[in-house]
Amino acid sequence: MPDSTIIVGARVFDGTGSPAVLADVVVTGKRITRVARSIPAGERGDAGVIDAAGATLMPGMIEGHTHLGFGSSVEHVATRRELAEEKTLLIAACGRVLLDSGFTSAYSGGNRMPQAEIAARKAFAEGWLPGPRLRAASWEGSAGGGPGQAGGAFSFPGTETRPSDPASVAKFVTDMAHLGVDIVKLNLTGESALVAGTSQILQFTPEEVAAAGDAARAHGVWLTAHAHSTDGIKLALRNGIRAIYHCSYADDEAIDLLEAARDDVFVAPTPGIIYAHLTDPAAPPDDPEEMRQTAASIKQVAPELKRRGVRLVPGGDYGFPFNPIGRNARDLRLFVDWFGFTPAEALRSATQYGGQLMGMADDLGLIREGYLADLLLIEGDPLQDISLLEEPAKISMIMKDGRLHKMPAERVSRRPAPAAS
């Protein structure tokens, strides 16, 4: 097996939610080329060997809602910076921290500097900067279709104070698509964590969201919606928006619509940011009671969506100083503690469903022959203790595209062959 690596004796969680099984896994170049109960030593040739005895092998995790451009990680808290060059470096640094945390892919939740995120996407893909496989996003289009509000500060005034302007919304989507983003994000509702009392106030008219949907389809980009209110969720679903963040106050009708669209939509209920607001004294909610209400509501909504077969993905709005990148695996624990997932179900959300979210269902998120070799080796069993994934030291091996980003020497019984570039 020239230019191959064999991971032997692992407890393999394949990403489907099925129980883990003991198996050997062969990686050749960028892909998994064999999964077998046991590969005899006589068949291994000169392949590199990684001894995974006692550890769990699983697909790399996929983050569904992160903000690399906010710039804060567990290693460095970003303050306000005006230099675009410095912000670009922070995007790269946060991408590396995310990869260090076991997230080998990420679906961006928005970036004020979409061109810098596009550049990071390219650098991470080419491998000369360490970071996750990335779907790059626009900044969050707000009222009138532009990035943010006048002066760059969010105010979330709603739709009652201005005329509907579908043309400007379509132009925003078109302009972002021409830059080369994968995703255009719209703030369909306000955000009470930033401006108290606005999470349930619609920011776009139905005509504007319809124009965004038409433009997105015309230019081949996906739409993501920030939507707390039930009206915002319904507006997203009626216009083909692919990913919806929060869904905090979905009523019965919205839940029915989400169930009907479950083959086409993903929901990131973002427990991480809610947890941070409730527990971190540095978090900025102007109305703590509303944040408690949000937590209580999503703890009812998310389990019902899961019961209905809606694909929930982790992604807790990481990147803020009080909710930094590097804590992303906390969402998986909260899926278990708050939403009633089993650890296997939470891991499936972060792997198989994540691959589907990335638009790479046939390449990503499973340990299966032919899939990309994005793999993690966990010291211990996250199917018994999901919190292990919050400890970087427990993630002893990180492989992306068949290339080792992290590997302890004590696990290598024969030097792995270099990955194909």
Give mean pLDDT, residues 95-121. Answer: 96
Q: Among residues 216, 209, 165, which one has the least CA distance to residue 188?
A: 209
Count the neighbouring beta carbons within 10 Å of the beta carbon of residue 130: 19
Alpha helices, DSSP H, located in 190-309: 206-219, 230-237, 252-260, 271-279, 288-307
Q: pLDDT at position 410, please?
A: 87
pLDDT tens track for 245-290? 999 999 999 999 999 999 999 999 999 999 999 998 888 766 788 8
Class level of CATH domain 61-357:
alpha beta
pLDDT for residue 420 is more than 80: no
Report d(CA 383, CA 61) in Å as an integer.
Answer: 14
More confident site: 37 or 156: 37
Check: CB of residue 219 under 8 Å from CB of residue 175.
Answer: no
Radius of gyration of the chain (CA): 21
Tokens 């619509």 identify what position?
257
Residues of the chain with CATH 2.30.40.10: 4-59+365-414
- The amino acid at 51: D
pLDDT for residue 313 is more than 50: yes
Check: CB of residue 69 under 8 Å from CB of residue 95.
Answer: no
Q: pLDDT at position 327, please?
A: 97
Q: pLDDT at position 273, please?
A: 94
pLDDT tens track for 44-88? 878 899 999 999 999 999 999 999 999 999 999 998 766 888 999
In angstroms, what CA-CA distances link 177 with 163, 212, 213, 222? 25, 11, 12, 9
For the chain, how far is it from start to end, CA to CA, in angstroms? 18
In this structure, the chain runs to a length of 421
Q: pLDDT at position 84, please?
A: 85
pLDDT for residue 191 is more than 50: yes
CATH superfamily of 4-59+365-414: Urease, subunit C, domain 1 (2.30.40.10)
**Phi/psi at 390 (5° precision):** -85, -5
Mean pLDDT of the chain: 92
Q: What percent of the residues of the chain are helix, what percent strand, and what percent coil, each to the nearest 5?
A: 35, 25, 40
- Whole-model pTM? 0.94
pLDDT for residue 41 is more than 90: no
More confident site: 216 or 157: 216
Report d(CA 163, CA 279) in Å as an integer.
Answer: 40
Q: pLDDT at position 158, please?
A: 81
pLDDT tens track for 143-180? 544 443 323 456 787 888 889 999 999 999 999 999 99
H or E segment and range at residue 85: helix 84-100
pLDDT tens track for 345-401? 999 999 999 999 999 999 999 999 999 999 999 999 999 999 999 999 999 999 999
Report d(CA 309, CA 59) in Å as an integer.
Answer: 22
- Sign of the CA dihedral running 246, 251, 257, 260: positive
Q: Is 39 helix (H, G, I), strand (E, B) or coil?
A: coil
Check: CB of residue 319 under 8 Å from CB of residue 270.
Answer: no
Residues of the chain with CATH 3.20.20.140: 61-357
